[in-house]
C-alpha cells in the first residue's frame, strides 16, 4: 500500500499531477528527493540556484510533515539509491513526473528499468507543462519549430484545472524510517555542505507559499501593465517567478487559472493585451521545453547547420571582460553586474548581453550559455538554450539574423540610465546621454573605475556580417 513519489522539478504538494495520482494509487504516500552527484558535479551549476532549491526542499519537507508523511532525502545516484530505498520499504510503486531534458530522460529510463527488475512498478506523468510534448503538433503531426504557429495552436487548446493538494498522506512508521536511513536516507544538507557558497540574498524567495504569494500579487496588479513595463530593466514590471517555474514550485494549471481570472478583471484593452502577453511568455517556456524534448541535439550546438562551423573568436580576455561587466558598454556591464551580484538578470538585458557577446565580441554563444547557467537562479536548459540560440540567430527563429545595437537598446529601454547607474554606481555622476550611448568621453572616465569600450560596435558589426556571409558558402 506504500507509494513513493520522486520529486525532481516539481517541489510542491499542490496541483501536482504525479503526486495527486500517487494518492489515488496507495493508501500511504511518501516523498523522496535525490541529490544526484551527476548533476551537482556538472560545470553548469549556480550556487544561488542550489541554495534556492534547498530552500524549496526545506519547505517541501514541512509540507509533508503537515500531511503526516515524510520527504526522504537521498544523496546518491538515483539508479542505485531509489531501487534500494523502494526495496527496503517494500514500496509497491514509484511515481514521478516526466522531464524534457536529455539527461533526465536517460536517467529516468535507467531508474525505471532498475525498479522493474526489482519487481517494483513505475508510473509517470506530465506535470510541468500545460500541454505535453506530442499534444501540440502541426497539421502533418510534426513538432513545431517556430513559435507563432505553436502559440496559435497551444492557446486554442483546453487547459486542465488545478489539482487538489496532498493531504493525510500517512507516512512511514518508526521502523520503516530506520530502514530508510539504513539505505541512505538522511537530512537535507546546506548549500555550503554541498560545496556551494552564495552569501547574497536570493533574488526569489524559496518555497511554495512564497511563490503563491508572489503570483497572487502579480495577478492583482502588475500583470495588467506587463506589456508596457516588461521591457524596462529599471522597473519591477515582470513576475519574478522564473526560479519557481524552473523547479516546479507552482503548478502550471494554477498559474493558468489565475491568468484567466485576471482576464475577467481587465478594465481596458491594454490590460487584456498585457494578460495575453504574459500568457505568451508561459507559452514560450512550453515551446522551448517541447523543442528540447523533440530536438535534444539543441543542447549540444546550433540548430541551424550554417552555424556549425562559424569561426568564433577564442578570445578569453574579451570573454572575461564580458563576464565581469568590464566591456566599456554601460548597459552590457550593468546587466552582467546584476547577474553576478543577484543571480538574476532582466529579460531585456539577457537579450542585449547575449547579442553583444556573440555579435560584438564574436565569442561562441555556448560560452555565454554556460556562464548564465553558472550564475542564474532560474538557469534552465530549455529556456536558456532557447534564449541563447535565439540571440545568436542559430535557433528556431524565422528571422535570419538579429544584431542588437547596445546604444539604441539603452536609449530605448533605460532612457534615464537608471538601471545603468544602479549597477554601475561608479558612473553615477556621468551624464545620461553618455551612459546610454556608451560614448563616454575619455576625460569623463578619469579617476573612475571603468574601462573604455573594448571593441567598436560598428566595426565589429561589419566584421561579423562578413564572417556570416562566408558561412553561407561553406
Q: Give the residue numbers annotated as catalytic, written as ranges.
A: 281, 284, 312, 347, 365, 388
Give, in degrees to the nearest 5, the angle at Cα 382 between 295 and 223: 130
Tell me: does residue 241 bind ligand FAD (CB under 6 A).
Answer: yes
Cα distances (angstroms) measured from residue 13 to each of 112, 127, 316: 23, 12, 45
Q: Which residue is nearest to ligand FAD (CB)?
A: 387
Residues in the chain: 474
Minimum Å distance from CB 51 to ligand FAD? Answer: 16
Tell me: does residue 240 bind ligand FAD (CB under 6 A).
Answer: yes
d(C-alpha 339, C-alpha 286), whole Å = 24
Instruction: Name the residue nearer to ligand FAD (CB basis): 206 or 387.
Output: 387
d(C-alpha 337, C-alpha 474), whole Å = 38
Minimum Å distance from CB 66 to ligand FAD? Answer: 27
Q: Which one of 6, 96, 388, 413 is in contact with ligand FAD (CB under 6 A)?
A: 388
Tell me: does residue 248 bind ligand FAD (CB under 6 A).
Answer: no
d(C-alpha 387, C-alpha 381), whole Å = 10
Q: Which one of 347, 432, 461, 471 is in contact with ligand FAD (CB under 6 A)?
A: 347
Tell me: does residue 409 bind ligand FAD (CB under 6 A).
Answer: no
Bridge partners (DSSP) listed for residue 31: 5, 71
Tell me: does residue 212 bind ligand FAD (CB under 6 A).
Answer: no
Of 166, 187, 180, 165, the C-alpha closest to 54 is 187
CA neighbours closer than 13 Å in the CB half-sphere of residue 303:
25
Whether 250 has a binding-site annotation, put simply, is: no
**Is 317 in contact with 328 (CB distance < 8 Å)?**
no
Annotate each residue in 216-235 with x if it binds ligand FAD (CB under 6 A) or - if it does not, as one string: --------------x-----
Coil/strand/helix, residue 121: strand
Annotate each residue in 352-371 with x if it binds ligand FAD (CB under 6 A) or - if it does not, as one string: --x-----------------
Tell me: does residue 21 bind ligand FAD (CB under 6 A).
Answer: no
Tell me: does residue 61 bind ligand FAD (CB under 6 A).
Answer: no
Write the CB contacts of 87 (distance below 8 Å, at least 6 apart in sequence). Answer: 118, 120, 183
Whether 288 has a binding-site annotation, put simply, is: yes
Q: What is the CA radius of gyration of the chain?
A: 24
d(C-alpha 265, C-alpha 259), whole Å = 10
Q: Which three cell numbers stand for residue 383?
A: 529556456
List, in sequence order, the alpha helices (H) in 343-456: 347-355, 365-375, 381-392, 406-413, 418-423, 432-437
Query: Total residues at the site for ligand FAD (CB under 6 A)?
Result: 28
Tell me: does residue 419 bind ligand FAD (CB under 6 A).
Answer: no
Tell me: does residue 23 bind ligand FAD (CB under 6 A).
Answer: no
**Is 382 in contact with 292 (CB distance < 8 Å)?**
yes
d(C-alpha 172, C-alpha 27), whole Å = 12
Instruction: Name the residue nearer to ligand FAD (CB basis): 240 or 438.
Output: 240
Phi then psi for 124, rounded to 5 degrees?
-125, 155
Q: Which one of 97, 231, 391, 392 is in contact with ligand FAD (CB under 6 A)?
A: 391
Cα distances (angstroms) measured from residue 419 to each of 39, 214, 242, 450, 454: 34, 23, 20, 16, 21
Q: Which one of 99, 378, 397, 414 is in contact with ligand FAD (CB under 6 A)?
A: 378
Q: Which one of 111, 337, 363, 383 is in contact with ligand FAD (CB under 6 A)?
A: 383
Whether 344 has a binding-site annotation, put simply, is: no
Whether 281 has a binding-site annotation, put simply, is: yes
Minimum Å distance from CB 224 to ligand FAD? Answer: 13
Cα distances (angstroms) measured from residue 346 to each of 151, 299, 339: 23, 23, 9
Annotate each residue in 275-294 with x if it binds ligand FAD (CB under 6 A) or - if it does not, as one string: ------xx-xx--x------
Whether 65 has a binding-site annotation, put simply, is: no
Instruction: Name the residue nearer to ligand FAD (CB basis): 125 or 247.
Output: 247
Bridge partners (DSSP) listed for residue 4: 30, 94
Minimum Å distance from CB 167 to ligand FAD? Answer: 28
Minimum Å distance from CB 434 to ligand FAD? Answer: 26
Tell me: does residue 98 bind ligand FAD (CB under 6 A).
Answer: no
Q: Which residues are annotated as a binding site?
A: 226, 238-242, 278, 281-288, 378-380
Which residues make up the interface to ligand FAD (CB under 6 A)? 230, 238-242, 245-246, 281-282, 284-285, 288, 347, 350-351, 354, 372, 376, 378-380, 383-384, 386-388, 391
Amino acid at each position: 500500500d506504500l507509494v513513493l513519489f520522486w520529486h525532481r522539478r516539481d517541489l510542491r504538494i499542490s496541483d501536482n499531477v504525479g503526486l495527486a495520482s500517487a494518492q489515488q494509487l496507495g493508501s500511504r504516500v511518501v516523498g523522496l528527493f535525490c541529490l544526484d552527484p551527476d548533476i551537482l558535479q556538472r560545470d553548469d551549476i549556480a550556487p544561488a540556484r542550489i541554495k534556492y532549491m534547498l530552500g524549496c526542499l526545506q519547505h517541501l519537507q514541512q509540507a509533508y510533515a503537515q500531511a503526516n508523511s515524510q520527504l526522504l532525502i537521498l544523496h546518491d545516484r538515483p539508479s542505485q539509491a531509489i531501487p534500494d530505498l523502494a526495496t527496503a520499504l517494500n514500496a509497491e510503486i514509484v511515481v514521478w513526473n516526466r522531464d524534457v531534458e536529455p539527461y533526465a530522460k536517460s536517467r529516468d529510463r535507467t531508474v525505471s528499468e532498475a525498479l522493474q527488475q526489482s519487481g517494483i512498478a513505475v508510473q509517470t506523468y506530465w506535470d510541468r507543462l500545460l500541454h505535453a510534448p506530442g499534444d501540440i503538433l502541426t497539421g502533418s503531426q510534426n513538432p513545431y519549430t517556430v513559435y507563432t504557429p505553436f502559440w496559435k495552436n497551444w492557446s486554442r487548446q483546453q487547459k486542465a484545472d488545478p489539482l487538489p493538494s496532498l493531504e493525510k498522506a500517512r507516512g512511514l512508521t518508526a521502523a520503516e524510517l530506520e530502514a530508510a536511513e539504513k539505505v541512505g536516507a538522511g537530512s537535507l544538507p546546506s548549500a555550503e555542505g554541498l560545496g556551494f557558497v552564495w552569501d547574497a540574498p536570493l533574488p526569489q524567495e524559496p518555497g511554495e507559499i512564497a511563490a503563491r504569494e508572489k503570483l497572487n500579487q502579480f495577478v492583482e496588479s502588475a500583470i495588467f501593465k506587463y506589456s508596457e513595463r516588461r521591457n524596462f530593466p529599471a522597473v519591477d514590471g515582470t513576475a519574478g517567478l522564473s526560479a519557481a517555474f524552473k523547479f516546479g514550485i507552482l503548478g502550471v494549471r494554477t498559474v493558468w487559472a489565475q491568468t484567466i481570472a485576471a482576464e475577467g478583471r481587465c478594465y481596458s484593452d491594454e490590460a487584456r493585451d498585457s494578460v495575453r502577453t504574459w500568457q505568451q511568455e508561459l507559452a514560450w517556456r512550453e515551446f522551448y521545453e517541447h523543442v528540447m524534448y523533440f530536438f535534444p541535439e539543441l543542447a549540444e550546438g546550433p540548430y541551424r547547420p550554417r552555424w556549425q562551423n562559424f569561426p568564433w573568436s577564442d578570445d578569453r580576455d574579451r570573454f572575461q571582460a564580458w563576464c565581469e561587466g568590464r566591456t566599456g558598454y554601460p548597459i552590457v556591464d550593468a546587466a552582467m553586474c546584476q547577474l553576478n551580484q543577484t543571480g538574476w538578470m532582466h529579460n531585456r538585458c539577457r537579450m542585449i548581453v547575449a547579442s553583444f557577446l556573440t555579435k560584438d565580441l564574436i565569442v561562441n554563444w555556448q560560452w555565454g550559455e554556460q556562464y548564465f547557467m553558472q550564475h542564474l537562479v532560474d538557469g534552465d536548459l530549455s529556456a536558456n538554450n532557447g534564449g541563447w540560440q535565439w540571440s545568436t540567430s542559430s535557433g528556431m527563429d524565422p528571422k535570419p539574423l538579429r544584431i542588437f545595437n547596445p546604444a539604441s537598446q539603452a536609449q530605448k529601454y533605460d532612457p534615464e540610465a537608471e538601471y545603468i547607474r544602479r549597477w554601475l554606481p561608479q558612473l553615477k555622476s556621468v551624464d545620461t546621454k553618455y551612459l546610454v550611448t556608451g560614448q563616454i568621453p575619455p576625460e569623463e572616465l578619469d579617476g573612475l573605475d571603468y574601462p573604455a569600450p573594448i571593441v567598436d560596435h560598428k566595426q565589429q558589426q561589419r566584421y561579423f556580417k562578413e564572417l556570416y556571409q562566408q558561412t553561407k558558402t561553406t
